[in-house]
Amino acid sequence: MPEIAEVETIKNDLFAAKILSQKIVDVKIFKPSLINTSKKAFVHKVKNSRIINIKRIGKYLIFVLEDKFLIIHLRMTGHIFLKDQNHIFQKHEHIALIFENKKMLVYFDPRRFGKFYLRDDLSSLDKLGCDILSKSFIFDSFYEKLKSKKKNIKTLLLDQNFIAGLGNIYVDEALFLAKMHPEKISLNITKEKAKDLFFSIKKIISKAIKNRGTSLGKSRSNFSSIYEDFGNFQNHLLVHTKKTCPNCFSEIKKIKVSQRTSHFCEKCQN
DNA sequence: CCATATGTTACTCG
DNA sequence: ACGAGTAACATATG
C-alpha cells in the first residue's frame, strides 16, 4: 500500500502525536509470523525500551530503540493506528506497542505481507538506492545511474535498490509529468529528459506528502493515517487509475511492466 | 467465479 | 553478469 509519501505521512503524524521518547511498557503479538525473531526475544528486547528516534528510509519506517532498531515494512496493506489503551482489538490487528502515556500503536494488515524486523543496526538497508527525499538525491548521480543500466525506466524506478521510495502510483504519475513512456530504455534517455524526470519525481512526491498520501478505494485495506483518515492525493492523480489523458484527452493505455499495471498516454508519453 | 490490488523476493531462462 | 519473466506470500473488493 504505502509508498514513500504514505510512510512519510505516518512518520510525521507519529512525531506530532508525541510518540518520540515514549517508553514501550507492553507488547502484544497476535501473529508471530510477522516478526523476524521469536515472540519471546521480541518482547524481551522491545518491552521497557524507549523510542529514541523515528526515521524513514525508502518505504521502511524505523523506530530507533535504546538498544535496537525496529524496522517496519508495510508492504501492500500494512497500517499503523494510534489507539487508546482501552481499544478492543479487531480482525487483522496483529501487533501492538503500548506506551506509558496509555496510548498504543496497533499494526493492522489484512494481507499480512508486511513485517517487523528487530535488528542491531541498519545494515540490512544498505542495498537500498538513494532515498528520494534525502539530500543526496541529486540529479548528477541519478543521471549517471540511469546511463549505467539498460532496463525500461518503469522497472528501474520501481527498483528500491536503484532509488528508494517510489511505487506503482507515483511512478506512473512521475512518468506522465515527464512525458516519458514507461518502457523507455534508460540508456537512451537524454540528459534533458532525465532532468524532467528527476524534477517530476520530486514534484509528485512533495505534492503527495502535502496531501497526506494517496488512498485509492474506500475499504479498510487502503491507505489511511494513524488516525484512520484517508489521504487526499487520489483527487490529484493525472494518469494512474484514469481513463482519459488530462492533457490531450486521448484514452489512457494500460500495459503490464514489471508485473504492475502501468497507466500512460501514448500520445503524450514517448 | 474471475481479475485486480499502493510490494518484494526468489527463482528460472535466455 | 544481466535482464526479463513468473510464482509466491494472503485477503478483500468489484
Distance between the alpha carbon (CA) of A181 and the C1' atom of C3, Å:
19
Q: Taking Cα atoms as reference points, which of A70, A31, A30 lies closest to residue A49?
A: A70
In a shared domain, residues A150 and A81 = no
Verify whether residue A59 is a known catalytic residue: yes
Query: Where residue A10 sits, what CATH number does that domain have?
Result: 3.20.190.10
Separation of A114 CA and B8 C1' (Å)? 10
Domain ends where: A93, A109, A125?
A125
Q: How sure is the predictor about A219, in pLDDT bands with cuts at 50, 70 and 90? A: confident
Do A21 and A102 share a domain, yes or no? yes
In this structure, are A107 and A145 located in the same domain? no
A168: the nucleotide nearest its CA (via C1') is: B6
Selected catalytic residue, list A23, A50, A193, A260: A260
A136 and A116 fall within a common domain: no
My answer on whether A255 and A138 are in the same domain is yes
* Nucleic acid strand B: bases within 7 A of protein CB: 4-9
Same-domain status, A112 and A199: no
Q: Which nucleotide's C1' atom has the smallest distance to the CA of A170? A: B6
Q: Does pTM top 0.85 for this prediction? A: yes
Within a 10 A sphere around the Cβ of A51, how many other Cβ atoms?
20
Is A11 annotated in the active site?
A: no
Q: Specify the nucleotide whose C1' lies closest to residue A152 (CA).
A: C3
pLDDT level of residue A218 (50, 70, 90 thresholds):
confident
Is residue A31 classed as helix, strand or coil in its secondary structure? coil
- CA distances in angstroms from A62 to A57, A59, A171, listed in the order given: 8, 10, 24
Rounded to an integer, the average pLDDT of A185-198 is: 97
- How confident is the model over A79-136, as pLDDT tens digits? 999 999 999 999 999 999 999 999 999 999 999 999 999 999 999 999 999 999 999 9
Cα–Cα distance measured from residue A239 to residue A246, given in angstroms and rounded to the nearest whole number: 8
Cell 503490464 locates to A256
Q: Residues A31-64: pLDDT tens digits?
A: 999 999 999 999 999 999 999 999 999 999 999 9
Question: Which of the four pLDDT bands, split at 50, 70 and 90, describes residue A261?
Answer: very high
* The predicted structure's pLDDT at residue A1: 66
Mean predicted lDDT score pLDDT of chain A? 96
Q: Which pLDDT does position A186 carry in this prediction?
A: 96
> How many Å apart are CA A20 and CA A29, to the nearest integer?
21
As ranges, strand C nucleotides with an atom below 7 A of a protein CB are: 2-4, 6-14
| A142 band by pLDDT with thresholds 50, 70 and 90 | very high
**One-character DSSP codes across A42-62:** HHHHHTT-BEEEEEEETTEEE
H or E element that contains A5: helix A4-16
Percent helix / strand / coil, chain A, rounded to 5: 30, 25, 45
8 Å CB contact between A75 and A115:
yes
Asked about A260 being catalytic, the answer comes back as yes
Residue found under cell 514507461: A182
Q: For the domain that residue A184 is a member of, what is the CATH number? A: 1.10.8.50
Which member of A45, A56, A59, A212 is catalytic? A59
Give the range of the structural domain holding residue A50, as residue numbers without chain letter: 4-125
Domain C-terminal end among A125, A146, A161: A125
Q: Does A210 have pLDDT greater than 70?
A: yes
Stretch A234-250: mean pLDDT: 95
Q: H-helix or E-strand containing A101?
A: none
The answer to whether A220 is a known catalytic residue is no
Q: Which band of pLDDT confidence, cut at 50, 70 and 90, is reported for residue A17?
A: very high
Give how many domains chain A has, as a whole number: 2
Task: Please check whether residues A92 and A174 belong to one and the same domain.
Answer: no
pLDDT band at A220 (very low <50, low <70, confident <90, very high): confident
In chain A, % of residues over pLDDT 70: 100
| pLDDT, mean of residues A193-205 | 98
Q: Are residues A78 and A173 in the same domain?
A: no
